[in-house]
Amino acid sequence: MAGAGDRVVPDGAPVERRGRLLDRRQPVPLGSEGSRRILFQRLLGEHSGRAPELRHRRSAGGLDPAPDRHLACGRQPLAPAPGDATCADGFVRFQGLPGQGERASPIPDGGLQYFQYALVRAGEHNFWKRPVRTARQFANQRPAQPSGGSEDQFLIGQPRAGRALVAQSRSRGRLFRVEPSGLRVRPGGFRLWDAAAAGHESCEWLDRLADRKEYAVGGGEPRLAPMPAPRGNPGAGFGDGDGLGLTEVFPHRRVSLREHDGESKERPMMQILRQMPVLRYLFACSLLSFLLLAATSIWAAGPRSQNPADLVVDYKLFQNPPGEYRGHWWFTWNLSTLTEEAVIKMIRQAAQSDACGSFMITPSGGSTINLSEAFLRGTRRQPDTRGVAYLSEEYFRLYRLAIEEGLRNGLPMRVLYDELQYPSGMAGGLLYSKYPEAGAKSLELAERNVTGPAKIELSIPIENGIYVGAVLMNRETFERIDVSRNKTAKGAIFPVPKGNWKAMLFYLDPTIRPASNKGGFVDYLDAGAVDKFIQITFDAYYSRLKEYFGDPIQMTFYDEPCMHLSNGRMWTPGFNEAFQKAYGFSPMKYYPALWYDIGPETAAARNALFGFRTRLYAENYIGRMAAWCARHNIDLSGHQDQEEVRNPVGIHGDLMKVFEHQQIPGIDDIYFTGRSNVAYKVVTSSAFNWDKPLVMAETYAAYRQMSPSTALKTAMDQYAMGVNVQIGGRPRALGPDGDRFVGRMSYLLRHGRHVADLAVLYPIAFMQAAYFFATPPTSNRPASPPQFYWPLEGGLIPPELDYMDLGEMLFRGLRLDFTYLHPEVLEKRTIIENGLLTLNNKENREQFRVLILPGGDTISAAAAKRIVEFYRAGGVIVATRRLPSKSAEFGRNREVLEMVAEVFGFPAGDPLTAEIRPVVDDFKNYFAHRNSTGGRAYFLPEPDIKLLNAVLREAVPVRDVDIQLPPMWPVKMGTEYDGALTYIHKVKDSRDIYFFANSQDTAVDASVVLRGKKNLEIWNPHTGERLAAEVRHSEQNGEPVTTVRLRLAPVTAVFFVGP
C-alpha cells in the first residue's frame, strides 16, 4: 500500500522516498531504456558552484549502471542533422514515439538559440520542486536576444495524462506552463516543476553546469536551429500571440553521448564569485531578496487573474483547452475518518477519469480537541476526539499529500477552500475559541413609549450586551434627540420632554447565532476581527504550503458568508466611530430609521446606515481577504448567500458592491437549473462594472435531479450570462467531453470587452430605503423565526421593485443582453461621448445606447446628475413603474425632482405635461419626451414585453444582436424554468466572439442580424471543430449589418468568431 511519500512507477511497482541527497560531484549514469525527455536550459549562471538539492529516489532494482552514457561537456552550437527535428514555417517539428506521429510547435519569439540540455530518462530522473533562482515577475521586461546570451530557461518534455511542465523565462519575467495542447503563459511562482511522469526513481543534475561548461548530444537526438520569429508581440511571450509554444519532444531512438573539450568563458565577476564562497553566498542572498521583494510588490498591485494567455484567441487552445479552463473536482473530506489511502485513491481516480482539470477540497467533521467549551456549548456540538482536527499539523500533512499526489497525477489543486464547511468566517470554530470577542454581533433594541415630561431608565436586557447609544423620537413630529451620553452601567437614564415619545436603547448581542454548526463566525464588519480570522486560516495555509501558492494554487474560495445569520441584524462596536470619521457626523439619531419610518429623512437615513454597513462588509471582510490574496500571488473568489433574493440589504447588503475589491466575483447555483437566473446578471455585471476578467459559479450543489442534459443546460446558461469559471461536481456521465465543453467556453469567454446596447441602473438606493429591521413574521412563513426569514426573503418587497423581472424580460424574453450599472460606477467610472454612455474601464470598456431606470422612488443625487447629462448629450432614458422623487442623500431631494422634470417632462411629478402615447390594442399608455439635442426619455408605468420591445426598437433601430424570433414570454421561473435561447457578445484580441446557447428541449433555426460587417467562423464548443460561417452583408437603417443563420439542436451551443 502506497504511503504518503511514495509514488507509483508506470508498471505499478511502488517506490519509496530516501532521505539522503545525491552527491552532486559524482555523475549518475543514464539508462537507455524507456521514453526519454530533454531538458533544454539556457545558462542562468549557477554562480554558486553548487547544484540544487534534489531528493534521491531509488527503486528495488537500483540505478542503471551504464557508465558509457555519462553527460559530457563542451561549447558548440547545435546544427540540424538528418532525421532530427526539422524547422519550417516558424515551427519545430519533432517525430513522436511510435503511434504518436509528428508534433509541431511554434518557434519562440526571437528564434531558437543556443541551449544547454541534459538527457533524462522517464522512470529514473525527476527535477521536482527545484527552486528557480530568477524570479523577475513582469519587471524590466526585454525582448528575446537574437543570439546566445539570453537568460531563458525552458523545460521541454513529454506530458502524460494531461500533466504539465513548467519553466520560467528570466528575460521575459514570466512562468511558462507547457501542457499537452501547448504553451501556457502564467505569471507567478518560483519553482521549476516537472510533473510529466510518475515513478521517477532518482535525480541527476548537471553538476558541471556550475563550472560553466555546456553539453552537446550526438547520435540521433533532436536538434534545434535558429528560425525567424513568427508574428506576435515581442517580449510578451512565445509564438503567435502567446499561444502555443515549445511543447513535447519525443525522441524515439537510443541516444549516444559524446564529450567535447571546449573551454567555457566566464565574466570576471563570476570568476571572483567562484573563488570566494562567502562573497558568492552573500551575493546570491542579496539578489534573491531583491527579486522576491520586487515580485511581491508587483503581485500585490494587481490580480493574478490577468493571465496574458487569456487575452488571445487561439483555435488550438480552444480545441484542447488546458486544465485551468476546465472543471474542478470538489473533494469532500470527512476529517473524522480520513486516511492517507483515501486521499490518494480519490486523487488517482479523479485523474484517471480525465473529467476535470483540477480540484478543490472541502473538509468537514474531525476532532474538536482544539475548540473551546464556550464554542461547543454555543453551537450545540458534542466533544469528539475522532479523526483529524481542522488546521492541525496532521491536517496539513494530508493536505500536502493531496497537493503532491495531484501534481504527480497531472491534477493540480488550483482552488483553496477557506473553511470547515460553511459559512466562511468560522475557521472551523477556532476563531471563536481563541478570540470570542471577534465573533459576530447583532444590533438589538430595547424600547418604551412614554409621555413627557418624565424621566426614564432603559436597561440592556442581557448580561454581556454592548452599549451603542440611546435616542428619543417624537411619535407625532419625528423629532429625534440623541441621549447616548446618559449612559449607566446597565443602560441609560435620561429626561423626556413634553409630548409623546418613543425611547429607544440600542445595544449589541454577542451571542453565537445560529446555535448550530453555522454559528461562531467572525464579525465581518470589524477589520481587526477579520485580521484574526486571516491569521488563523490564510496565514496557517501559507506558512505550511507557501511553495504551492501561485502555482498550482491560483485562488481561494469563500462560501456563503452573510449578515442575516446574526439575528438578522449584524452590527459592530466600531460602527459609529468609523461612520463619523468617514462622513463627519454621528449616525446615532438616525438609528430609529433601522426599525421605523422617521419622516422625510427615512430614505436618506437608511441609505446612510445600510450603505455604510455594506461598505464595512466589502472593505473589512472581502477587501482585506482580497488584499492578502494579492500579496500572496493568488486571487480571492467565492460567493454570497441567497443571491436571488430581490432585496439583498438584509443578507449581504449590496450584491454588486460586495465584489468591488474581490478579484473573482462569484455566484452559487444550487438545487435546480434556473433557480439563480435572476441574480446571475447582477453578479456578472458587478465584474463588468469593476473590470474583473473572471466570474466564478459554484454549480450543481444539492441538485434535486442531475443528468448530463441538466448539467449542460446549466453550464451554457451560465456562460451566456457572463460566467467563465465553473466549480462544482458534475455527473460522471458527462465525462471528459463535457469537461472540454466547459473548458472551451471558459477559454473564449474569459477577459475581453462585453458588448451590450442597454444599461440598467442597479436600484440599490431604493432597496436600502425600502428595507428595515422588523419582527413580524413574513407572510408565507408565519411559523418561522421572523428575525431569520425576514432578511432571507428581502423584507417587504415594494411592488415597483421590478429590476429582476425587467432583467428576465430583456435577457430571456426579448433576447437582448444588458449590464446592470451600480450608481457609484455610473457616477465615477462612466463618461459620455458621442451620445453614448461609456463604461470607461481599461479592459471592459462598454458603450451603452440606452440607460434603463427600474421602478423605485429613491436615487442618488450623483446618479440623477449623470442621467441629466446623458439625456442632454442625446442619450436615451427608459424608466419603468415609478419615477424617483427622493435622494439617497440628506437634503438633496430637489435635485432628483429637477432631473425627473427635465428628462421625463413631469414638472413637480405631473405626468400630464409629457407626451402620452397609447398602445391601443393593449389599452396601455406610455410617456415620451424629447429635447433639442436628440435626447429621448420614455416612462412605462405598466411595462410588458410588447411595450418594452416597441420602445427599445425605436430607441435602438439597429441592435448589436437581433435574433429574428418572436419574444419568449412569459419566461418560466423557478422550478418551471425549462431553458431559453440566450447569447453574449465579447470582443477579445480585436476579434468578435458571439456565443449562442440553446438550453431548451426544442431546436432553434433562425436568422441573426449582427450590427457591422463581419466575417465569421463557427467554432463548436462540443467538439472543438470549426468551419466557415455563411454570412450575408447588407444595410439596415443606413448601418452595415451581417446576417447569419443560427441552427442549434436541443441543449447545444455555438460560437461565431471573427477573424
The verdict on 334 and 296 lying in the same domain is no
The verdict on 911 and 1052 lying in the same domain is no
Residue range(s) defining the domain that contains residue 952: 758-957
Last residue of a domain, one of 380, 413, 446: 413
Q: What are phi and psi of 507, to 5 degrees?
A: -145, 165
The verdict on 824 and 764 lying in the same domain is yes
What does the alpha-carbon distance between residue 163 and residue 178 come to, in Å, rounded to a whole number?
9
The verdict on 982 and 950 lying in the same domain is no
Neighbours of 625 (CB within 10 A): 25
The number of domains in the chain is 4
The verdict on 851 and 936 lying in the same domain is yes
DSSP state of 813: I
Among residues 1016, 663, 960, the alpha carbon closest in space to that of 815 is found at 960
Q: 3-state SS string over 1003-1032?
A: CEEEEEEEECCCCCEEECCCCCCEEECCEE
DSSP SS3 for 446: strand
Residue 200 in any domain: the answer is yes
The verdict on 927 and 802 lying in the same domain is yes
The confidence score (pLDDT) of residue 148 equals 34
Residue 467 in any domain: the answer is no
Q: Which three cell numbers stand for residue 293?
A: 521583494
The verdict on 154 and 78 lying in the same domain is yes
What does the alpha-carbon distance between residue 589 and residue 740 come to, in Å, rounded to a whole number?
58
What does the alpha-carbon distance between residue 830 and residue 821 come to, in Å, rounded to a whole number?
10
What does the alpha-carbon distance between residue 621 and residue 804 come to, in Å, rounded to a whole number?
27
Within 339-486, residue ranges assigned H as helices are 340-353, 373-378, 393-408, 430-434
The verdict on 131 and 101 lying in the same domain is yes
The verdict on 901 and 1039 lying in the same domain is no
Q: Which three cell numbers stand for residue 939?
A: 416612462
Neighbours of 77 (CB within 10 A): 13
The verdict on 942 and 985 lying in the same domain is no
What does the alpha-carbon distance between residue 158 and residue 180 come to, in Å, rounded to a whole number?
8
Residue 136 in any domain: the answer is yes
Residue 820 in any domain: the answer is yes
C-alpha 950, offset from chain centre: 37
Among residues 372, 784, 797, 790, the alpha carbon closest in space to that of 565 is found at 790
The confidence score (pLDDT) of residue 307 equals 72
Burial (Cβ within 10 Å: 0-12, 13-18, ≥19) of residue 275 = exposed
Residue 189 in any domain: the answer is yes
Predicted TM-score of the model (pTM) = 0.74
Residue 751 in any domain: the answer is no
Per-10-residue mean pLDDT, the chain, length 1059: 33 30 30 29 30 29 30 30 34 34 38 27 29 28 33 33 34 33 31 29 26 28 30 29 26 27 39 48 50 38 63 96 94 96 97 95 96 94 95 98 98 97 94 97 96 96 96 98 96 97 98 88 98 98 98 96 91 98 98 98 99 98 98 97 94 97 95 90 98 95 87 96 92 89 98 98 98 67 66 91 97 98 98 97 98 98 98 98 97 97 79 58 79 96 95 98 96 91 98 99 98 98 97 97 98 98
Contact 305, 663 (CB under 8 A): yes
In degrees, rounded to 5, the angle at the alpha carbon of residue 855 between the alpha carbons of residues 851 and 857 is 110
What does the alpha-carbon distance between residue 743 and residue 325 come to, in Å, rounded to a whole number?
5
The verdict on 23 and 171 lying in the same domain is yes
The confidence score (pLDDT) of residue 62 equals 32
The verdict on 107 and 193 lying in the same domain is yes
Last residue of a domain, one of 256, 285, 301: 301
